[in-house]
């Protein structure tokens, strides 16, 4: 029970980390296209996220100088959080050790990056220091999980078929095993959705900063992601008024949805799955609406957009399968 609570806490912290990192990434990209942009986290002259997120220390983790690796630190953060969430669903020792190593590597950045910000830039960034706190919490949780698992193995005396000691200390039924596989599939699909949406956000913001920017997903004149992601329908679903504060890129809403799905997937409760199914049906309705705009109004093909539609369809199927398994388990 304690191990399950720690896993839930790790996933929750990682989801929060993804959301904060996405906001930091959005601010840094927004400043490239609009240098006068003022972020919500710019509190004063010395408490400015904008100055920190556009500095030399906000890219390539300071020491990576290769052009292709000089991406915002927040992007690396999103990748690490996604990997930590994915590894939380595997109980093998190798997965736990790799998770611990990844958490420690992320935690190590909390030593030199704050020094660069405080002593060199002489700034305080709410986004950056929130992420440092999240990394410390995640490392502490993963370390605690490692200790619990190690102590459990030491005290385990259960044997499977008279052979060597069962390292997991308990035997799962076929339904439980299938349920865990479905959960892994849901979380893996959501993580893929987060990554695709993050790339879409990058393309959209890059087009604003560099009008002639050409994305990797631009295959032909009528198969162009940049045309679709720079259209009026790419923000606020094409329904939100221009002067509204909710006029944000659709991919930001997508990241929020996928993170919420990941958080809810830590609960094996039929009522929670029902709620997930309701959300997935809403997302499917939006997919149909956006697909109609893509085909009949914009008359274009966007591989990123179509990929997100497929992800949402697949998630709806997985939620239905999980609900069926939970009902079978309850009998």
Write down the pLDDT at residue 1: 63
- Would you call 235 helix, strand, or coil by DSSP? strand
Q: pLDDT tens per residue, the chain (331 residues)?
A: 677 788 899 999 999 999 999 999 999 888 888 888 888 888 888 888 888 888 888 887 666 666 666 788 899 999 999 999 999 888 788 999 999 999 999 888 888 888 888 888 888 889 999 999 999 999 999 999 998 888 877 776 444 444 444 444 443 467 778 888 899 999 999 999 999 999 999 999 888 888 788 888 888 888 888 989 888 899 988 888 878 778 889 999 999 999 999 999 988 889 999 999 999 999 999 999 999 999 999 888 999 999 999 999 999 999 999 999 888 877 6
Write down the pLDDT at residue 156: 60
> How does pLDDT run across 166-185, given as a tens digit for each residue?
444 443 467 778 888 899 99
Write down the pLDDT at residue 165: 44
195 and 330: one domain?
yes
Give the residue from 29, 24, 54 showing the smallest Cα distance to 40: 24
158 and 273: one domain?
no
308 and 291: one domain?
yes
79 and 182: one domain?
no
Write down the pLDDT at residue 62: 62
127 and 244: one domain?
no
Q: Cα separation of 330 and 127, whole Å?
A: 43
Q: Cα separation of 119 and 148, whole Å?
A: 38
Phi, psi of 249 (to 5 degrees): -55, 140
Cα of first residue to Cα of last residue in the chain, in angstroms, is 22
208 and 257: one domain?
yes
Q: Cα separation of 201 and 184, whole Å?
A: 25
Domains held by the chain: number: 2
- CATH number of 244's domain: 1.20.1440.130
Q: Cα separation of 138 and 102, whole Å?
A: 10
Task: Say what the alpha-carbon torsion angle 232, 237, 238, 241 is, to the nearest 10 degrees.
Answer: -110
DSSP 268: -
49 and 127: one domain?
yes
Long-range pairs of 45-49 with CB within 8 A, sequence gap ≥ 24: 46/122, 46/123, 46/124, 47/123, 47/124, 47/125, 47/126, 48/123, 48/125, 49/24, 49/125, 49/126, 49/127, 49/128
Which domain range does residue 68 map to?
1-171
Cβ(106)–Cβ(138) below 8 Å: yes
167 and 231: one domain?
no
17 and 42: one domain?
yes
80 and 184: one domain?
no
177 and 166: one domain?
no
Q: Is 258 exposed, middle or buried (0-12, 13-18, 19+ CB in 10 A)?
A: buried
Write down the pLDDT at residue 48: 85
Write down the pLDDT at residue 66: 64
Half-sphere exposure of 30 (CA within 13 A, CB side): 16
> How does pLDDT run across 9-26, given as a tens digit for each residue?
999 999 999 999 999 999
Among residues 171, 189, 207, the one where a domain terminates is 171
- Which residues 6+ apart lie within 8 Å of 27 measured at CB? 37, 39, 41, 49, 50, 53, 127
Among residues 138, 171, 204, the one where a domain terminates is 171
145 and 283: one domain?
no
Q: Which helix (H) or strand (E) holds 229?
A: helix 225-229
Among residues 171, 193, 211, the one where a domain terminates is 171
């Amino acid at each position: 029970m304690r191990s399950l609570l720690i896993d839930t806490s790790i996933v929750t912290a990682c989801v929060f980390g993804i959301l904060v990192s996405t906001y930091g990434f959005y601010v840094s990209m927004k400043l490239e296209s609009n240098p006068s942009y003022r972020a919500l986290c710019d509190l004063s002259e010395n408490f400015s996220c904008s100055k920190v997120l556009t500095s030399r220390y906000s890219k390539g983790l300071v020491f990576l100088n290769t052009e292709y690796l000089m991406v915002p630190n927040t992007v690396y953060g999103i990748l690490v959080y996604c990997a930590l969430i994915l590894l939380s669903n595997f109980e093998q020792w190798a997965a736990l050790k790799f998770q611990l190593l990844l958490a420690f590597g992320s935690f190590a950045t909390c030593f030199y990056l704050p020094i660069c910000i405080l002593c060199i830039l002489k700034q305080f960034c709410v986004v950056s220091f929130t992420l440092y706190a999240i990394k410390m919490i995640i490392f502490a949780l993963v370390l605690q999980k490692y200790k619990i698992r190690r102590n459990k193995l030491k005290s385990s005396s259960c044997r499977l078929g008279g052979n060597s000691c069962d390292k997991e200390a308990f035997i799962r039924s076929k339904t439980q095993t299938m349920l865990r596989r479905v959960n892994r599939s849901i979380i893996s699909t959501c993580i893929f959705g987060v990554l695709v949406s993050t790339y879409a956000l990058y393309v959209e913001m890059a087009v604003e900063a560099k009008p002639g920017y050409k994305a990797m997903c631009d295959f032909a004149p009528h198969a162009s992601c940049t045309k679709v992601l720079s259209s009026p329908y790419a923000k606020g679903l094409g329904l939100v008024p221009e002067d509204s504060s909710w006029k944000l890129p659709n991919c930001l809403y997508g990241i929020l949805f996928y993170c919420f799905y990941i958080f809810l997937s830590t609960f094996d409760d039929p009522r929670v799955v029902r709620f997930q199914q309701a959300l997935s049906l809403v997302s499917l309705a939006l997919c149909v609406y956006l697909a109609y705009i893509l085909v009949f109004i914009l008359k274009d093909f966007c591989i990123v957009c179509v990929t997100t539609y497929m992800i949402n369809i697949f998630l709806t199927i997985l939620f239905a399968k999980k609900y069926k398994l939970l009902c079978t388990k309850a009998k």
